[in-house]
């Protein structure tokens, strides 16, 4: 009887090994990933859900991004710290959210008179952009691996209740704004007001603000800002493009095998290319629809464009003096965008006169 029980036990063990073999798929590697923008938002939030789908397809269901909407356990401003601590595995965000404690972060997300999407792609992959991006987080003791992962589009300059014809019209203007663009407007005499995104319409209706910079035209339209103000200025000099990043806890990243890491890199590059192509059309369609709804699409005068540029150069100089790494990154971007000095072409000698 003992031998029979032993034989039965051995058969059961062998059967369990067989069932655990190639015929049974392994559990997928799942990365919990809160997002900074809700995936219902066109251009800014929706790329996260597309990224998750692409990662699953490229990995053959072996790697999954478990998306968590804003506020579902993690507030947008908490993403970087929680990824760094390992409280969550990854995050889909924009580096500008951390600019208050890491000033150079804004330069990787979109800043006044900065690169467009094509310019960022070139700097990331043909310049030092990616190296400096990772170095920024390392210097800040953030335990994260960063991958530039999508473009959210260029922002509108802002919504206004009256025309802005000259720099004089900015003085005393009550405007919702923040970040580097807000500092530029303050330098020109505007009174910048902090208003939560969901309260902008109410602030307009109560005449608490005369203008507001929010997000891209497509998102502004979705948020129904056209119901509260009827003038929108373009282009968004303060943020010509919005870069969206994939943050992964560094320990979690290192635990992934080469194939899994390649899947994430490949998926992000695909999203960069796709959103680079799609975003301008998305924003143009939103502006066309806004015009049909009675919104006036205005552009800045040359005098105002010069005023914005001059004020930005002052703000950039001040920030560079305060923060050496900000200066390093901005200098690198400007040098890369300027490109090599063109050399004068050498002309062949003139043939002798007959």
Q: For 6-38, what is the HEC assignment?
A: HHHHHHHHHHHHHHCCCCCCCCCEEEEEEECCC
Q: What is the pLDDT of residue 46?
A: 97
**Which domains are assigned to the chain?**
29-154+240-283 (3.40.190.170), 158-239+287-323 (3.40.190.10)
Q: Quick one: which of 43, 133, 28 has its CA closest to 89?
A: 28
Q: Which residues contact 197 (CB under 8 A, 6 or more apart)?
A: 214, 215, 223
Mean pLDDT by runs of 10 across the 354 residues of the chain is 42 38 68 97 96 97 97 95 98 97 97 97 98 98 98 96 95 93 96 92 96 95 96 96 98 97 98 96 96 96 96 97 98 94 50 52
Q: What is the pLDDT of residue 23?
A: 43
Q: What is the pLDDT of residue 352?
A: 55
Tokens 């005098």 map to which residue?
A: 303
Would the pTM count as exceeding 0.85? yes
Q: What is the pLDDT of residue 178?
A: 85
Q: What is the pLDDT of residue 155?
A: 95
Phi, psi values for residue 207, rounded to 5°:
60, 30
Q: What is the pLDDT of residue 340?
A: 74
Q: pLDDT by residue (tens digit) across 3-37?
A: 444 443 433 333 333 333 444 457 999 999 999 99
Q: What is the pLDDT of residue 349?
A: 54
Phi, psi values for residue 2, rounded to 5°:
-60, -40
Contact 105, 36 (CB under 8 A): no
SS3 339: coil
């Amino acid at each position: 009887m003992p031998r029979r029980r032993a034989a039965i036990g051995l058969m059961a063990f062998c059967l369990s090994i067989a069932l655990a073999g190639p015929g049974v798929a392994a559990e997928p590697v799942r990365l919990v990933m809160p997002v900074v923008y809700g995936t219902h938002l066109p251009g800014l939030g929706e790329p996260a859900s597309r990224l998750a789908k692409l990662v699953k397809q490229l990995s053959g269901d072996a790697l999954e991004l478990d998306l968590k909407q804003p506020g579902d356990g993690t507030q947008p401003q908490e993403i970087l710290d929680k990824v760094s601590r390992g409280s969550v595995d990854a995050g889909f965000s924009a580096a500008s959210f951390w600019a208050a404690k890491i000033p150079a972060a804004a330069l990787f997300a979109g800043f006044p008179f900065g690169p467009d999407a094509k310019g960022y792609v070139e700097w990331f992959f043909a310049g030092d952009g990616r190296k400096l991006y990772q170095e920024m987080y390392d210097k800040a003791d953030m335990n994260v691996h960063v991958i530039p992962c999508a473009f959210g589009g260029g922002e509108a300059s802002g919504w206004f209740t009256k025309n802005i014809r000259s720099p004089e019209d900015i003085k005393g203007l009550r405007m919702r704004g923040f970040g580097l663009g807000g500092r530029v407007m303050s330098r020109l005499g505007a009174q910048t007001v902090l208003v939560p995104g969901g309260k902008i319409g109410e602030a307009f209706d109560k005449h608490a603000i005369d203008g507001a910079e929010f997000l891209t035209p497509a998102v502004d339209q979705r948020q129904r800002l056209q119901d509260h103000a009827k003038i929108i200025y373009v282009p968004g000099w303060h943020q010509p493009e919005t870069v969206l990043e994939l943050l992964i806890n560094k320990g979690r990243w290192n635990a992934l095998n080469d194939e899994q890491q390649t899947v994430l890199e490949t998926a992000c590059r695909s999203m960069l290319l796709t959103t680079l192509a799609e975003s301008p059309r998305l924003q143009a369609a939103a502006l066309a629809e806004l015009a049909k709804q009675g919104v006036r699409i205005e552009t800045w005068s040359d005098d105002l464009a010069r005023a914005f540029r001059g004020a930005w150069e002052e703000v950039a100089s001040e920030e560079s003096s305060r923060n050496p790494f900000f200066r390093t990154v901005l200098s690198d971007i400007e040098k890369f965008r300027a490109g090599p000095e063109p050399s004068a072409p050498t002309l062949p000698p003139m043939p002798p006169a007959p």
